[in-house]
Structure 1
């Protein structure tokens, strides 16, 4: 797509690969955010896409914010209001775009996921880690706070106490500790990372597109809604689902003991 992101589609699965390995795939000080946003817009508009894999080239998933960009922001020429607008118009658009994307997203974390890189992984629905992956909510180490939504994302991923430990210490944890803390759902040998992500994606995309999209939307809404609101929304989504061709095909295939054939 550009200098930062490689966009590849294989049937219903799109793989997005961050591709500035020499710089450890930073999310600021480059074109990362606009390229990721453009890719998500493209995916959202393509009804054939049913799953996304987000990964990276090189030894790092993403090192997060670029330190030279932080130096620029600390100069007298850049005001506090300038920085606020840069966050609002820049990296803060990513968690909103991924939250609102109805297609499931798998983060295949190949290496260092640091600061905003960790938060980017938490913006995804599922995280698979290479045995070489390491994670840190390291903002405090450079005297700043999670400006990209990490204070909302991380507690919902690992729980408040563990999120606080990560955020207050800035400590780095390895893949096995990330697994024990439910930060990732699986740790695999490094060379098996993408095959494992693709195998999981294949099991996801075997299901009807509308059911995947509505299920993700329902789970996202449930994060900040009351039970009665979620139940009402569930009833509406379910009513729509019952009337789809894919639902009828799924039921018929089950009763006839054959593989279903779903549309887009």
Structure 2
């Protein structure tokens, strides 16, 4: 299968999925969201691949959802359709029969951060910037951001992270449990490949079986959260605060929110 916005390369039992919109810091438009969902669903059926390494082309992992596309008056984003693909990609990622490794350089924000958090092992560079920053434009996390955060840090800490929209560098992400390994700038992908080699030299079939046991029991919770995220995101897109947040972002100013 050929893709416009991602690359999927297979090398024996290892596959690499590369976000490939470097000129836009790998911001996710409708095409990328659909292609990620398609790629993950295809990998669900591929028993020959045991490790999936996910990284971004260029100077960032992913800046999140493509805000410029959200405000494009010539081709407005169809939020209902988009949320279907966002939910598809999150569910398929969580159900993958491969061990997934995210290697983060530059920014991993919004939906990009949700994608990172959905992976089994996260390697981040010290200078990387990780943020669940939907709140800045009056939205809720999607891509199972709520689910993945509470899985890693618990509900009370998840609420703090979501509500603050705080930008964390690699070391802080490690300290709060949102990264598993920190490396110096420029070394995340190399470290990811080394970890993949270590996994492939291990009894990985047993490791994958453990992942399935632990994940399958939580699918119903994940599906419910994805449903609630979709409903909430569609509703939030119509709010005064979201419209103000988008305008402020485009105009490079501080937003004035009114709680509506």
TM-score (norm 2): 0.77
Counterpart-to-counterpart distance in 2, 1:109 and 1:101:
20
Contact persistence 2:20–2:26 (CA under 8 A): yes
Name the residue aligned to 1:94.
89
Distance 1:41 1:205 in 2: 22
Paired residue for 1:24? 25
**2 CA distance for matches of 1:170 and 1:84?**
24
Verify the 8 A CA contact 1:50 1:212 in the aligned structure 2: no
2:185 to 176, 184, 190: 190
Residue segments in structure 1 that go unaligned for 5+ positions in a row: 226-264
Q: Shift of the alpha carbon at 1:107? A: 0.5
Aligned to 1:133: 128
Query: Is residue 2:244 matched to residue 1:220?
Result: no
- Find 1:108's aligned residue among 84, 88, 103: 103
**Cα shift at 1:85:** 4.2
Offset of 1:128 from its aligned partner? 0.5
2:161 to 142, 149, 166: 166
- The answer to whether the Cα contact below 8 Å between 1:18 and 1:56 also exists between their aligned partners in 2 is yes
Contact kept, 8 Å, 1:21 with 1:57, in 2: the verdict is yes
Contact 1:105 1:124 in 2 (8 A): yes
Structure showing greater radius of gyration is 1
Residue in 2 that maps onto 1:204: 199
Alpha-carbon contact 2:106-2:129 (below 8 Å) kept: yes
What secondary structure, in the 3-state scheme, does the structure 1 residue paired with 2:123 have? strand
Seen in structure 2, the aligned counterparts of structure 1 residues 67 and 37 have a Cα distance that, compared at 3 Å, is same
Root-mean-square deviation (Å):
2.2
Q: Distance in 2 between matches of 1:50 and 1:113?
A: 24
Give 1:25 deviation, angstroms. Answer: 0.6
Structure-2 change in CA distance of 1:210 and 1:116 (3 Å): same
Structure 2: stretches of 5+ with no match in the other structure: 221-260
User: Residue deviations 1:60-119, cap 9 Å, x none?
Assistant: 11111111232259x9x88xxx633431x2211111001111111000111201111111
TM-score relative to the length of structure 1: 0.75
**Paired residues for 1:36-115 under 5 Å:** 36-71=36-71, 83-87=79-83, 89-115=84-110
CA distance in 2: counterparts of 1:43 and 1:85, whole angstroms = 22
